[in-house]
Amino acid sequence: QEFDALQFGEDVPADFEIIPWPVLTNPSWLRVGDIGWQSVESFFLAAKHMMPLAQYKEFVKASHTRFHPDRW
């Protein structure tokens, strides 16, 4: 939620390390090459199995907003 409230710009750059990338890789070990279609799909598939459908739909909606290009 803290990340979602950030307004990126010159004063608050969108640094790689602060972005909650939707992948299953430990953030400490995450590299740019770890972020791809397959890894994101795996993340959301895992999330789908861990929460009720209604909650999952809200999670996907929030994630879509979080990573929408207009936000950056």
pLDDT at residue number 3: 87
Domain count for the chain: 1
pLDDT tens digit sequence for 32-42: 999 999 999 99
Measured between alpha carbons, how far is 70 from 46 in angstroms, rounded to an integer?
A: 27
Residue-wise pLDDT for 34-68, tens only, equals 999 999 999 999 999 999 999 999 999 999 988 88
Residue with the larger pLDDT of the pair 72 and 57? 57
What range does the domain containing 11 cover?
2-71
Query: Which residues are CB-contacts of 16 (< 8 A; sequence separation ≥ 6)?
Result: 32
pTM (whole model) above 0.75: yes
